[in-house]
């Protein structure tokens, strides 16, 4: 009898954890959608994603010279991650990216390998979020596509591109 009660309790705890995770994912998708759908038309299109990337580039370019160094990008990523962590408890648990992750992200974005990240290298490529999430290939993300992308567990960030 005691083992049945223990199993039942374990099942309830597991069910609550799954439900909480689903709620967290739904909240994350809703937050992401709200932040990216700037014109309020209930879809996220390429121009909205590029506008976000342009804002991010401007924030990363600490000395406003039109290019981002690996150091500027690493500092911006740390600041951005710390800001997200403050708003989203789940992010806080993941901690800041490692030095190796920062270096790899910069190298992936530095298309010409000159050690500097130009605005066009950062803004122009097709955003991975659009590539991964656009299930109906209309060049836009609706709420369901964003929700499905978050729930898929695929890894992407504003710093990833095709």
Domain residue limits, the chain = 2-152
pTM of the model: 0.50
**pLDDT tens digits for 8-44?**
333 434 444 444 456 666 677 777 777 788 888 888 8
- Averaged pLDDT of the chain: 74
Element (H, E) at 129: helix 128-133
Position 120 confidence tier, pLDDT thresholds 50, 70, 90: confident
Angle at 154 between CA 150 and CA 83, to 5 degrees: 60
CB neighbourhood size of 55 (10 A): 12
CATH architecture of 2-152: Orthogonal Bundle (1.10)
Q: Is the pLDDT of residue 160 over 80?
A: no
């Amino acid at each position: 009898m005691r083992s049945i009660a223990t199993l039942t309790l374990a099942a309830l705890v597991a069910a609550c954890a799954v439900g909480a995770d689903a709620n967290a994912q739904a909240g994350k998708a809703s937050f992401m959608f709200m932040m990216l759908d700037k014109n309020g038309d209930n879809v996220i299109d390429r121009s909205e994603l590029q506008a976000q990337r342009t804002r991010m580039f401007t924030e990363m370019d600490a000395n406003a010279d039109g290019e981002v160094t690996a150091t500027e990008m690493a500092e911006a990523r740390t600041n951005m991650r710390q800001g997200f962590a403050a708003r989203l408890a789940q992010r806080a648990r993941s901690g800041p990216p490692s030095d190796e992750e920062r270096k790899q992200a910069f190298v992936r974005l530095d298309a010409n390998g000159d050690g500097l990240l130009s605005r066009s290298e950062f803004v122009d490529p097709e955003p991975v979020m659009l590539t991964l999430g656009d299930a109906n290939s209309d060049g836009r993300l609706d709420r369901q596509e964003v929700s499905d992308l978050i729930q898929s567990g695929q890894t992407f960030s504003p710093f990833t591109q095709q």
